[in-house]
């Protein structure tokens, strides 16, 4: 009997211990689960704040008098909720997001900054080809003392030989291929000198650009052996640009800053014809058709190199476009055409940034990226807010 009672007591003690251990493990796992869910809720709040800030950017003109905020927003299909607020920061905006689940609370913070379309010297969806001996480097037009510009070129494709670097090419920066790509096969290196070659961890979004609302002119800009001068008052929507050579070349001359053209058809330049942006002027073209430049023609600023924003070209067509662009000397400008196949012929160096479907650089000189293009404003084309830095708990 004594042995039976002792065995029963031992079994009871063991059972109570196991029940206690199981209860503590369950409480611990519940607490850990609540912490994880709360943290996920906090991240969801941060993601929502970022989305709302980018939605706010779409409303022109920008105002930060009222910034996104939310309190106790319930997450679908769970008991978690989040609250967030966006406030102005020293170099942009700052987000605080609080996630709660059960008795757990997690806080995350992020600083937001504006990012534009021209973060890379050259970026393509598909093929990128650089001629033999090309140098790709950078400078900063806003700071002459900045001699360490951050430069990279890349393609979002992972196909074999999507980037072709011919013999003697020098890239003073990195070469990047698409997510999951193999740089050893995606980059056809025929004797180039570059920084790191690697696959991207995420692709840059390539947003569709919508032309601004401009007065409809109902005609093409045509010049045969003559010069047409446009001022800011001539900004508008045209059916095309057609410059032809007679005894003298046809010239489209831009004489004012802020000239904006929305061209619904093709832009054609005959032999030796020019689109010339005069000193102190600037030109932005939204092109729905193709750009074709004959030998000796020129799309350029008067005394290149000027600021890269002096000449801006945006492709707005629904299908693949072709941009055959020529410059008699140095070319300065930015081109955003993620659905366009671009060939650039310049008599000397090129300055600016290019986004294309495919790009081939056929030039007498080198390619220089202006790091100042990364400094953007809320009313610039295609800008968006991105997370610059992320913190958990309270940041210093």
Reported as a single tens digit per residue, the pLDDT across 98-142 is 999 888 889 999 999 999 999 999 999 999 999 999 999 998 888
pLDDT score for 363: 80
Chain segment 282-314, per-residue pLDDT in tens: 999 999 999 999 999 999 988 877 788 899 999
Identify whether residues 141 and 287 lie together within a single domain. Answer: yes
Sign of CA dihedral 191, 196, 202, 206: negative
pLDDT digits (tens, 9 = 90+) for 172-188: 999 999 999 999 999 99
- Tell whether 302 and 341 lie within a shared domain: yes
- What residues pair up with 293 in beta bridges, in sequence order? 269
Residue 258 pLDDT: 94
* Residue 318 clears pLDDT 90, i.e. is over it: no
* Per-residue confidence (pLDDT) for residue 14, from 0 to 100: 67
Same domain assignment for residues 128 and 264: yes
**Do 38 and 161 belong to one domain?**
no
Residues 126, 212: one domain?
yes
CATH number of the CATH domain containing 90: 3.30.1300
Confidence band of 252 (pLDDT split at 50, 70, 90): very high
Q: Give the pLDDT confidence score for residue 201 in this predicted structure.
A: 92
For the record, the structure tokens of 41 come out as 């809720």
**How sure is the predictor about 15, in pLDDT bands with cuts at 50, 70 and 90?**
low
Residue 72 and residue 267: Cα distance in Å, rounded?
54
Choice between 213 and 391, residue whose per-residue pLDDT is larger: 213
The answer on pLDDT for 30 being more than 70 is: no
Other CB atoms within 10 A of residue 295 CB: 9
Question: pTM of the full predicted structure?
Answer: 0.87
Domain that holds residue 73: 2-116+382-392
Same domain? For 82 and 190 the reply is: no
User: Do residue 145 and residue 49 come from a single domain?
Assistant: no
pLDDT tens per residue across span 261-274: 999 999 999 999 99
Check whether residue 74 and residue 159 sit in a common domain. Answer: no
Q: Are 78 and 184 part of one and the same domain?
A: no
Question: Looking at the predicted structure, is the pLDDT value of residue 19 above 80?
Answer: no
Mean pLDDT, residues 252-256 = 95
Of the candidates 193, 164, 134, 124, the one whose C-alpha atom is nearest the C-alpha of residue 346 is 134
pLDDT in tens, 334-371: 999 999 999 999 888 999 999 999 999 988 789 999 99
Rounded CA-CA distance 46/80 in Å is: 14
| pLDDT score, position 27 | 52
Question: Which percentage of the chain shows pLDDT scores above 90?
Answer: 68
Question: Do 291 and 225 share a structural domain?
Answer: yes
C-alpha span between 279 and 302 (Å, rounded): 6
- Return the pLDDT at 17: 62
Residue entry with tokens 């004594």: 2
Mean pLDDT of the chain: 90
Contact in structure between 295 and 271 (CB atoms under 8 Å): yes
Closest CA to 66 of 82, 93, 86: 86
Whether residue 330 is found in the same domain as residue 210: yes
Our count of domains for the chain comes to: 2
Q: List pLDDT tens digits, range 186-206.
A: 999 999 999 999 999 988 899
Strands (E) in 52-193, as ranges, are 69-74, 81-89, 92-101, 104-115, 122-124, 128-130, 135-139, 152-155, 163-165, 170-171, 174-177, 187-189
């Amino acid at each position: 009997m004594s042995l039976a009672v002792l065995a029963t007591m031992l079994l009871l003690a063991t059972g109570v211990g196991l029940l206690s251990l199981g209860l503590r493990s369950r409480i611990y796992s519940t607490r850990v689960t609540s912490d994880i869910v709360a943290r996920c809720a906090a991240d969801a709040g941060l993601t929502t704040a970022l989305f709302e800030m980018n939605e706010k950017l779409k409303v022109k003109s920008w105002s930060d008098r009222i910034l996104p905020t939310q309190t106790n927003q319930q997450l679908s299909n769970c008991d978690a909720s989040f609250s967030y607020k966006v406030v102005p920061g020293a170099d942009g905006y700052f987000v605080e997001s609080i996630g709660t689940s059960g008795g757990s609370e997690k806080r995350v913070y992020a600083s937001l900054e504006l990012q534009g379309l021209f973060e890379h010297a050259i970026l393509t969806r598909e093929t990128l080809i650089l001629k033999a001996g090309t140098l790709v480097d950078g400078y900063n037009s806003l700071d002459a003392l900045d001699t360490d510009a951050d430069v990279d070129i890349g393609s979002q494709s992972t196909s074999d030989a999507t980037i072709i670097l011919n013999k003697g090419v020098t890239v003073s920066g990195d070469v990047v291929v698409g997510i999951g790509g193999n740089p050893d096969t995606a980059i056809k290196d025929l004797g180039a000198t570059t920084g790191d070659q690697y696959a991207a961890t995420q692709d840059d979004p390539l947003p569709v650009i919508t032309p601004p609302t401009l007065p409809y002119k109902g005609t093409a800009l045509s010049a045969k052996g003559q010069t047409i001068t446009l001022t800011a008052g001539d900004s508008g929507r045209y059916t095309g640009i057609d410059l032809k050579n007679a005894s003298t070349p046809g010239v489209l001359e831009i004489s004012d800053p802020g000239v904006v053209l929305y061209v619904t058809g093709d832009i054609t330049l005959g032999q030796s014809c020019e689109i010339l942006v005069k000193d102190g002027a600037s030109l932005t073209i939204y092109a729905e058709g193709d750009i074709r430049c004959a030998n000796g023609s020129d799309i350029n600023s008067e005394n290149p190199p000027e600021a890269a924003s002096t000449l801006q070209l945006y492709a707005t067509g629904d299908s693949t476009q072709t941009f055959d662009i020529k410059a008699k000397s140095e070319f300065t400008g930015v081109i955003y055409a993620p659905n366009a196949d671009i060939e650039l012929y310049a008599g000397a160096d090129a300055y600016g940034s290019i986004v294309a479907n495919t790009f081939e650089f056929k030039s007498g000189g080198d390619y220089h990226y202006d790091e100042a293009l990364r400094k953007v404003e809320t009313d610039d084309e295609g800008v968006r807010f991105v997370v610059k830095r992320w913190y958990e708990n309270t940041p210093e």
